[in-house]
């Protein structure tokens, strides 16, 4: 089970969360990564935690002011990137081009989508993983296992029908270790979460709770 | 074989092209539709030709100033719509929502995409048809059968692997009847074309040439 | 005082609202226009009411599938267009180009904006009019005269400081004749409204109430 | 005269250019800043050179995956930011909000625009400076002083008519020290340049040539 902590644009200390994530990952053996803002990538990577970008642009090197070049985030220490997060929806053609860009920079990729049809659609583009974000769970209090377990099961099936080498993560509705275990039971091999760790009073304790059922 | 004539924002007379398309369709028995600007839909539909929109917005009824509501284009006489044309690339989530909107308004749908991977991706969203637009052919002089026949074959295979009920059209590189026949030989069941008819000195003659091998 | 009724993507009958607007305008002598979806422009214009588009694209004639060409909306009967409505925010460079497009098609223009700074900004681009839409009033029940009269006064001043030939309309917080009168007292020479007429059980009565203080 | 070197997404070594810029600035007394990709900000700032972002997002802290938070670029060492570069055109409302965001993070701001009307428009939003980028000069070989000197003069006048506290920079057509001097003669108090330094075989020599007439 892979745990990816998305720091979004939260007013948290990225190094504090990254350090906690590194320590909990080392201690538990669970794979944990942290995805900060692009401007914070190098200081997060310096902690030694697995570091992901929140987005990379579809462009290659060139005249692209204000873009987030895949090669630049890799040089800053990222080894993976989210794409098409619900807060950053992309054009289909740009998801495809950003996957190419990520490939050139040796970044692992996780493409987010809303429902099983879109999950099948992005799986066809050949990412390493996809994350299903049921819209009714994003940012809400309900755990995915209670609120809409079928959407995860259906997303896992929809992705497998297109390409069974693509992992499916659960992209919303996770805040406790029980939720992580439930997502795993539904077929997810990873989870995305954000405020549950990034806005926790004690990010380390939040992460320890999440990994407890995985030890 | 279905022939869809996209009028884009060309300075042509939409009624002249529509009338020619209606007559050639009636005379040849070949299915031909015309896709004008939204503001020209009702006058094109009034000719009796099959009328498509160039785009519909992902939104439903509501507070959406400047949108192109699927129900409004249907009321104006459209019975189908293009989506995600290379000149109007859409977010993946919006293609999905526009397909839903088109379904509510009983519009047939054709989603465009650049390459076999994206064709598989949009096929997974459940449109009636998809159109492959090889970027190197868009707007150029080369016929698809010479320049890149494999991209059409591969698109047909990629779509069939996801859902073999979805038709595949050839969205670029068509200007003559021979090109239409070649596209059919590659597995396409329809073609999209634009300037070859819309900017022709004699749109009727251009259409007659296109349908000649299909009679 | 100019009254512009924006039909947005509401499920109203555009011809019913247009006919009522035409009759009330004729009867009262007050200038009233109706802005339907692009696909409904010709049938609205056929009623004889002053007809506006909700948006025009920045492009000229050419390969622009899915655009809303200024010339096409003019051919369908529009004599003016909104731009940059709060539901359809545009890039600054595109507002500028859409104003050029509208000029080529002899469309009157009204550019919306949120606050006095942006009102000054769009006034500098040379439209015929601007409309201030205080974000806290959009779609809400409060009349502009109660909720935030200074934003209208400040918008009028901000526009005049840049170009005093540009009219300033009040783009939110109007639902009754008293609101229209209050907007006029604050310096507005026109108003934009939407649901107050378009979603009224009796659009004609709603319009008659609006023009009552102007007779 | 302020010289701002935009590294875009060029395949240059940002630290090499930054170090050269720092040294030439120190040696000549001319103000020089470097604007790298967000992911490279901290290593550029560590050289001691004045560091700018290429863009900041309009959002504040919060759930905004993939945004470029003004506070994050400031923490990484940026003290200023470009906005609305011709390769990254923004919605008018977003330029306004990004200026607010930059203000919260104490970033100096420079908003780009194409022509005198748009320059007046962005000046009204209250940035520290604006940069005029004549479209016909962007990326081309012609110096601004030869190709279109009036656009700079007119931009300086247009900005001053709205707010004479806002500096006007010349955003294209600069590659030599003579061009810098010419831009100054036209009323510009700064210049933006990119490939002339970032893609130079010897960035230091290129910068020394640029500052020569300013010593």
**Full 3-state SS string of chain C:** CEEEEECCECCCCHHHHHHHHHHHHHHHCCEEEEECCHHHHHHHHCCCCEEEECCCCCCCCECCCCCCCHHHHHHCCCCEEEECCCCCCCEHHHHHHHHHHHHHCCCEEEEEECCHHHHHHHHCCCCCEEEECCCCCCCCCCCHHHHCHHHHHHHHHHHHHHCCCCEEEECCCCCCHHHHHHHHHCCCCEEEECHHHHCCCCHHHHHHHHHHHHC
Query: Other C-beta atoms within 10 Å of C202: how many?
Result: 11
Which residues of B fall within a CB distance of 8 Å from C11?
Answer: 61, 71
Query: Other C-beta atoms within 10 Å of B89: how many?
Result: 18
Does ipTM come in above 0.90?
A: yes
**Residue from the list A39, A62, A87 with its beta carbon closest to the beta carbon of D9:** A62
Over the range A147-168, which residues count as b (16 or more CB within 10 Å of their CB) and which as e? ebbebbbbbbebbeebbeebbb
Q: What's the pLDDT band for B212 if we cut at 50, 70, 90?
A: very high
**Full 3-state SS string of B75-119:** HCCCCEEEECCCCCCCEHHHHHHHHHHHHHCCCEEEEEECCHHHH
To the nearest whole percent, how much of chain A has pLDDT over 90?
A: 87
A14-28, B122-136, C52-66: least confidently modelled range = B122-136
Q: Print pLDDT tens along chain D (215 aa).
A: 999 999 999 999 999 999 999 999 999 999 999 999 999 999 999 999 999 999 999 999 999 999 999 999 999 999 999 999 999 999 999 999 999 999 999 999 999 999 999 999 999 999 999 999 877 777 667 777 677 788 899 999 999 999 999 999 998 888 899 999 999 999 999 999 999 999 999 999 999 999 999 88
What's the pLDDT at D139? 66
Q: According to DSSP H, which parts of chain A are helical?
A: 14-28, 41-45, 70-75, 92-104, 116-123, 144-147, 149-162, 177-185, 195-198, 203-211
Residue contact B38–C38, C-beta within 8 A: yes
Closest CA to B105 of B63, B60, B127, B74: B74
Q: What's the pLDDT band for C195 if we cut at 50, 70, 90?
A: very high
Helix-strand-coil percent breakdown of chain A, rounded to 5? 45, 20, 40
Segment (H or E) for D132: strand D129-132
3-class secondary structure, D67 = coil
Closest CA to A213 of A193, A187, A185: A185
Residues 6+ apart with CB under 8 A from B210: B3, B174, B176, B177, B180, B193, B196, B197
Integer angstrom CA distances of residue D49 from A171, D34, D68, D161: 40, 7, 21, 33
What's the pLDDT at B41? 98
Residue contact C96–D90, C-beta within 8 A: no
Residues 6+ apart with CB under 8 A from D14: D7, D34, D36, D37, D40, D43, D44
Q: What's the pLDDT band for C143 if we cut at 50, 70, 90?
A: confident
Indicate the annotated binding residues of D for substrate.
Answer: 6-8, 138, 173, 194-195
Residue contact A124–B93, C-beta within 8 A: no
Q: What is the pLDDT of residues D79-128, one digit of tens each?
A: 999 999 999 999 999 999 999 999 999 999 999 999 999 999 999 999 99
Task: For chain B, say whether C115 makes contact (Cβ under 8 Å).
Answer: no
Do C and A touch, 3+ Cβ pairs within 8 Å? The answer is no
Query: Among 3.40.47.10, 3.20.20.70, 3.50.50.60, 3.40.50.11540, what is the CATH number of A2-214?
Result: 3.20.20.70
Which residues of A fall within a CB distance of 8 Å from D113?
Answer: none
Cα B57 to Cα B70: distance, rounded to the nearest angstrom: 7
Cα B167 to Cα B109: distance, rounded to the nearest angstrom: 10
Residue contact D8–A63, C-beta within 8 A: yes
Which residues of C fall within a CB distance of 8 Å from D123?
Answer: 124
Integer angstrom CA distances of residue A193 from A88, A137, A176: 16, 12, 10
What's the pLDDT at C139? 66
Q: A115 with B124: CB under 8 angstroms? A: no
Task: For chain B, say whether C82 makes contact (Cβ under 8 Å).
Answer: yes
**Residue from the list B113, B117, B125 with its beta carbon closest to the beta carbon of A118:** B125
Q: Is the pLDDT assigned to residue B140 strictly greater than 90?
A: no
**Residue from the list C96, C113, C117 with its beta carbon closest to the beta carbon of D117:** C96
**Residue from the list C92, C114, C117 with its beta carbon closest to the beta carbon of D84:** C92
Task: For chain D, say whether C92 makes contact (Cβ under 8 Å).
Answer: yes
Dihedral angle sign, alpha carbons of residues B116, B117, B120, B122: negative
Q: Which residues of A are catalytic?
A: 85, 133
Q: Is the pLDDT assigned to residue A191 strictly greater than 70?
A: yes
Question: Which residues 18-77 in chain A show a CB within 8 A of chain B?
Answer: none
3-class secondary structure, D138 = coil
Angle at D22 (CA atoms; ends D17, D26), nearest 5 degrees: 150
* Torsion (CA) A47, A179, A108, A150 in degrees, nearest 10: -170
To the nearest whole percent, how much of chain A has pLDDT over 70?
A: 98
The answer to whether B139 is annotated as binding is: no
**Closest CA in chain A for residue B114:** A93
What's the pLDDT at D141? 72
Cα D95 to Cα D111: distance, rounded to the nearest angstrom: 8
Cα B3 to Cα A199: distance, rounded to the nearest angstrom: 56
Task: For chain A, say whether D5 makes contact (Cβ under 8 Å).
Answer: no
| Residue found under tokens 């600054």 | C92
Average pLDDT over residues A47-61: 98
């Amino acid at each position: 089970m892979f745990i990816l902590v998305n720091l979004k644009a939260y007013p948290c200390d990225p190094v504090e969360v990254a350090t906690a994530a590194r320590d909990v990952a080392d201690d538990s053996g669970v794979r944990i990564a942290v995805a900060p803002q692009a401007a914070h990538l190098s200081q997060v990577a310096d902690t030694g935690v697995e570091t992901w970008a929140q987005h990379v642009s579809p462009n290659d090197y060139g005249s692209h002011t204000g873009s987030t070049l895949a090669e630049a985030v890799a040089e800053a220490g990222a080894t993976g990137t989210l794409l098409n997060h619900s807060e950053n929806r992309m054009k289909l053609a740009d998801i495809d081009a950003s996957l190419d860009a990520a490939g050139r920079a040796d970044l692992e990729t996780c493409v987010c989508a809303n429902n099983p049809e879109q999950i099948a659609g992005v799986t066809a583009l050949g990412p390493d993983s996809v994350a299903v974000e049921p819209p009714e769970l994003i940012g809400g209090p309900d755990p995915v296992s209670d609120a809409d377990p079928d959407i995860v099961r259906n997303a896992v099936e929809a992705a497998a029908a297109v390409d069974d080498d693509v992992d499916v993560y659960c992209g919303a509705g996770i805040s406790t270790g029980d939720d992580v275990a439930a997502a795993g039971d539904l077929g997810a091999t990873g989870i995305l979460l954000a405020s549950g760790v990034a806005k926790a009073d004690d990010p380390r304790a939040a992460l320890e709770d999440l990994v407890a059922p995985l030890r």
